[in-house]
Amino acid sequence: MLEELRRVVQEVSAVSDLSRALEIIVDRTQTIMASEVCSVYLFDEKSKRYVFRATRGLNKQAVGKISLGANEGLVGYVAERAEPVNVENVGDHPRNQYIAEIGEDAFHSFLGVPIIHQGQVLGVLVVQQKSKRKFDESEEAFLITLSAQLAGVIAHAKATGTLSLQRARRSSRLFKGSPGAPGVAIGTAVVIYPSVDLDQVPYRKIRNEAREVDRFEKAVVNTKQDIRTLAESLAGGLEQQELNLFDAFLHMLDDSAIPREVLRKIRKGQWAQGALRQVIQDHVSRFEVMEDSYLRERGNDIKDIGVRILGHLEKTDRRKLHFPRDAILVGNDLAVGDLAAVPIGRLKALVSGRGSVNSHLAILAEALGIPTAMGVQDLPMELIDGGTMIVDGFQGNLITAPTNSQKAYYEKVQKEELDLQRDLEGIKNLTCRTPDGKRTLLWVNTGLLSDVAKSLDRGAEGVGLYRTEVYFMMNEAFPTEEEQRKIYREHMQAFSPYPVTMRTLDIGGDKSLPYFPIKEENPFLGWRGIRVSLDHPEIFLAQIRAMIRASEGIESYLRIMLPMVSSVSEIDAAKVLIKQCYTEIKEEGADIEMPDIGVMIEVPAAVYQAADILERVDFLSVGSNDLVQYMLAVDRNNSRVAGLYQEFHPAVLKALYYVAQTANQAKKGVGICGEMAGNPAAALLLMAMGYQVLSMNSPNLLMVKKALTTVSFEQSKALLKEVLEMNSADQIKQRVENVLRENGLSQIVRSRR
Ligand code: PEP
Ligand code: MG
C-alpha cells in the first residue's frame, strides 16, 4: 500500500495541470481500491460550492457542470463535518440527494473523505460501489491517508496549474500569506531563486536568441568537462561498472539528447535556464513513476546533470543584475543576504514563501520600511516573474495582475499611511513622557548604516540593539578587527552623544553566514549566539576589540550585549574575554572607559535567573522575539504556526513583568528590544511593568511615542493589573487595543492591522 501511495503522490506532483492531476487521482484510486467509482469534488471560492471535477465510473459529461453546497447531499455532509462518511446504502441516508445528471443511481455504497489543507476543506474524494456494503476500516484508512497526502499537491496545482502563462499574467489572483512588515506597494515581480534549485527557475522571455544558445552550449561543454574531471579523479577507487555511469551522463549531454530538446525551447523564445528546467522536469517525472527502483533512481541522475548545467548558466547570466525601479523581490525562501543584490531605492516590497513576521528578513524589512508578505505558499514562480503585483504587508497578501479598482484601493491605503506618518512628524521632537509625567526612553534597533539617518530623524535617543551580524552577513569572509572597528565607529559617531548597544555576533537559527554555514536539524535549539562566540574565541575577541577600540574619544557610550544566554557560566566566560580585550587595549595606550556589559533575556531559563545574571552585568534587555518562541514552543520562522506566536500570551506577560521587577529591585537598567517594543499596544503594558528603555525598528518609534504621550501612566498601570488577571492572549490584545481606541488612537491600531 505504502508503495502505491508513494507512486500516486509522485505522479500527481509531476503534472502542473490541475485537471490532469485530478484525472490521475480518480484513475489510480479507483484501480488501487478496486472500486467501481472514484470522483473528486473541489471547493469553488466564487460560488462557495463543491464542484464535480473528475470522475471514473460516473457521467464524465457532468464534470464541471454539477455542484453541491456545503449543506447539500452526502458530499456536502463530508465537507461540513470535515470527516469521512461511510454509508452502506445511500438510499437510507437522510442527507442523500439524488442528482440525475451524475448517473449514480446504480451505486449504493458510498465512502467520502474530506481533502483538507491547512485547516481548510479543499474538496471531497469519493469512492462508490454497486453492492450494499460498508467499506472496511483498511479501505477507509487508505483513502484518508491518500487524501491527506494529496491535499498539499492539489492545493499547489489549484494555485499554480490551472492557468496558462498568458492568462496568469492577465488575470488577477490573490495569494494569502501572513503579515511581514507593514505597508503596501505596487510594483514589478523579480523572482529570486537559489542557483542550485532547478524547480524554482522562473519563465522568462528572451530577445537575443543567439546569445542564449551560445550560453547554453558553453554550459554543456563545461558540464561535460566537470564530469570527465570527476571520473578521472575517482578512477582509482571505483569499479568499472560504477565508472560506466559517467559515460551514461556524458551520453545524456550528446547533441542529440537533452541539449537538442533545450535548444528547441530556447528557439521558441525561452531563456536557457527556463528551457533547461522544463526539459529536465519532463524527464525526471517520467522516471519517478517507474516501478523499478533502479530506473527511478536514474531520475535523480538527470536532475543532477540539470543542476550542474544550471550552475554554469548562472555564471554567465548578466540579466541577474537588472532590477526595475519598482522591484518586488519574490522567493520561496528569501534571506537577508538576498537584499544586498538590490540597489537601494529600487526595492519596493518583499514576498517570501516561507517564514513569518518574526523572521529576521521581516524584521530587517520593517526597519527599512519595506512592505513584506511572509509565508505566501504555492506561488507559481515560473509564471509571475516580471508581472505587476500588489503586496499588502498588513494582511500578508499578494495580488498578481491587479485590476484598476484594486490598484485604486491600495493607492488609497498608501495615502492614509502617508497622512498618518505626516501627522506623527509633529511629535518627533517631543520628550516621551506620559501626561502624568512618566518618562520612557525610546531607542532604535539598527543593523545597517542606512538606518542611522532615519532613526535620528524620528527622534531616537539611543541604539538599544545594533545587530552586528547584518554586516557579517553582507560580507564574503569574516571581517577583520580593523574593518569592524571602522564600521562600528561610524555608527557610534553618527549617534553621538547617545548610547549605542552593540550585540555580539548572533548567528545560527535563521541567520547564517555564506562563508560559515551551520547545518543542524534544530537550528533554533542549536549552535546560536553566545554559544558560537564562546566556541570561537578568536572571532569573539576580534569583535570585542573592534567595539572597544571604536569607542575611543567618542562621547556616546558603548554597551556590549550578549545574545542567547542560558546560564551564568556563559556570562562569566564572556566577561573574562571582554576584560582581557579591555586590558590589552589599555596597555596599547588607548584612553577608553570600560563599556557597560548586558545580557539579552531570550531564553526562559534566563528569565528565572535574572537576579543571578544581574549580579554579573550592568543591564538586561529582553529579546522578546526569541523569548516568545522559546516560551510558547512556536518556531518564529514557521508560517504554519504563526497564529500561535502570541506576544500577549499571559505566560509571556508574566515573565516580562518578572524580569522588569527583578531588575528594578536590583536598581539596574532594564529594556526590551524585541518587536514587541515597537507595538504601541504592548508598549503601554511594558512601560507600566517598569521597562525603562523600549528599543524598536525606527518606523514604529513615533507611533509608540504617540501612544505613550497620550495614555496616562496611571491608566496603563490599571490596564496592566487588569490584563494580568486574564487568561487569553486574544482577550488581552483586544482589551489593550480598545484602550488605545478610547484614547483617540484608532488610526494607530488600524495601521498595525
Ligand atoms: C529578539 O530575539 O527579540 C531579538 C531582538 O533578537 P533577534 O530578533 O535578532 O533574534
Ligand atoms: Mg534574538
Q: Which residue has the cell 478610547?
A: 742
Instruction: Tell me which of 398 and 170 has the higher pLDDT.
Output: 398
Residue 414 lies in a domain: no
Mean pLDDT to the nearest integer, 375-388:
83
Say if 10 falls within a structural domain: yes
Q: Does residue 413 sit within a domain?
A: no
CA of 669 to the centre of ligand 2 (A): 19
Clarify whether residues 187 and 311 are in a common domain. Answer: no
pLDDT > 80? residue 298: no
Task: For residue 219, give the H/E element and its range.
Answer: helix 209-234
| CA distance from start to end of the chain | 47
Residue 3 pLDDT exceeds 50: yes
- pLDDT value, residue 446: 93
pTM to 2 decimal places: 0.77
CATH number, domain with residue 578: 3.20.20.60
Around ion ligand 2, residues with a beta carbon closer than 5 Å are: 602, 623, 626
Atom of ligand 1 nearest to the CA of 467: 9
- Looking at mean pLDDT, say which of 122-126, 316-320, 417-421 comes out highest: 122-126
Residue 347, domain CATH:
3.50.30.10
pLDDT given at position 293: 66
Residue 504 sits in the same domain as residue 391: no
pLDDT band at 241 (very low <50, low <70, confident <90, very high): low
Q: How many domains does the chain have?
A: 4
Ligand 1 close to Cβ of residue 508 (< 6 A): no
Do residue 262 and residue 400 come from a single domain?
Answer: no
Assess whether 282 and 332 both reside in one domain.
no
Q: pLDDT tens digits for 323-356?
A: 899 999 999 888 877 787 788 789 999 999 988 8
Instruction: Tell me the pLDDT band of 85, cut-offs 50, 70 and 90.
Output: very high
Q: Once rounded to an integer, what is the mean pLDDT over residues 249-254?
A: 84
Ligand 1 pocket, mutate which of 336, 363, 504 (most atoms under 8 A from CB): 363
Average pLDDT over the chain reads 90
Pairing of strands 109-117, 372-374: unpaired
Query: Of the candidates 406, 423, 448, which is a domain's last residue?
Result: 406
The ligand 1 atom nearest the CA atom of 629: 2
Question: Are the beta carbons of 6 and 100 closer than 8 angstroms?
Answer: no
Same-domain status, 176 and 155: no
Residue 489, pLDDT score: 96
Q: Which of 357, 366, 465 to mutate to test the pocket of ligand 1 (most atoms within 8 A of CB)?
A: 465
Q: Give a yes or no: residue 427 inside a domain.
A: no
- Residue 59 · residue 39 · CB < 8 Å: no
The domain that holds 13 is classified in CATH as 3.30.450.40
Q: In this structure, are 354 and 267 located in the same domain?
A: no
pLDDT of residue 563: 98
Candidates 410, 381, 399; CA nearest to 172 is 399
Ligand 1 pocket: which of 336, 625, 631 to mutate (most atoms <8 Å of CB)? 625
Q: Are residues 177 and 206 in the same domain?
A: no
Residue nearest ligand 1's atom 1 by CA? 623
Q: What is the pLDDT of residues 581-604, one digit of tens each?
A: 999 999 999 999 999 999 999 999
Q: Is 360 tagged catalytic?
A: yes
pLDDT tens profile 150-191: 888 888 777 765 545 556 666 788 888 988 999 999 999 998
> Is residue 570 in some structural domain?
yes
In a domain, 651, yes or no: yes
Whole domain around residue 182: which residue ranges? 171-192+325-406
CB of 599 within 8 A of CB of 530? no
391-413: average pLDDT: 92
Kindly state whether residue 426 falls inside one of the protein's structural domains: no
With residues binned 3-state (H G I as helix, E B as strand, rest as coil), the percentages for the chain, rounded to 5, are 50, 15, 30
153 and 206 assigned to the same domain: no
- Kindly indicate the confidence band of residue 237, based on its pLDDT and cuts at 50, 70 and 90: low
pLDDT (tens digit, 9 = 90+) per residue, 502-524? 999 999 998 888 889 888 999 99
User: Residue 303 has what pLDDT?
Assistant: 82
Low-confidence winner among 137-141, 315-319, 724-728 (lowest mean pLDDT):
315-319
The answer, yes or no, to whether any atom of ligand 1 lies below 6 A from the CB of 366, is: no
Distance 600 CA to ligand 1 centre (A): 9
Q: Distance between CA 52 and CA 713 in Å, rounded?
A: 60
The answer to whether residues 581 and 713 belong to one domain is: yes
| Residues 695, 680 share a domain | yes
What share of the chain in percent tops pLDDT 70? Answer: 95
pLDDT at 10 over 60: yes
Q: Which atom of ligand 1 is nearest to the CA of 469?
A: 9
Res 124: pLDDT = 96
DSSP characters over 457-511: HTT---EEEEETHHHHHHSSSPPPHHHHHHHHHHHHHHHTTS-EEEEP---BTTB
pLDDT at residue 231, rounded to an integer? 75
- Give the percent of the chain with pLDDT over 90: 59
Distance of CA 89 to the CA centre of its chain: 48
Query: Any idea which ligand is nearest the CA of 505?
Result: 1
Nearest atom in ligand 1 to the alpha carbon of residue 602 is 2
Please give the pLDDT value at position 163.
46
Q: Is 626 in the pocket of ligand 1 (CB under 6 A)?
A: yes
User: Does residue 367 lie in a domain region?
Assistant: yes
Identify the domain boundary among 279, 294, 316. Answer: 316
Residue 434 has pLDDT above 70, yes or no: yes
**Distance from the alpha carbon of residue 341 to the mean position of ligand 2, in angstroms:** 25
Do residues 299 and 236 both lie within one domain? Answer: yes
Say which of 156, 312, 360, 491 is annotated catalytic: 360
674 Cβ closer than 6 Å to some ligand 1 atom: yes
pLDDT, residue 743, reads 97
* Least confident span in 180-189, 305-314, 335-344, 419-428: 335-344
Helices 729-742 and 650-665 pack at an angle, to 10 degrees, of 70
Task: Check if 601 has its Cβ closer than 6 Å to any atom of ligand 1.
Answer: no
Indicate which CATH number applies to the domain containing 285: 1.10.274.10
d(CA 327, CA 325): 6
Last residue of a domain, one of 258, 284, 316: 316
* Residue from 38, 432, 581, 673 carrying the catalytic annotation: 673
175 in the same domain as 59: no
Q: What is the pLDDT of residues 648-673, one digit of tens each?
A: 999 999 999 999 999 999 999 999 99
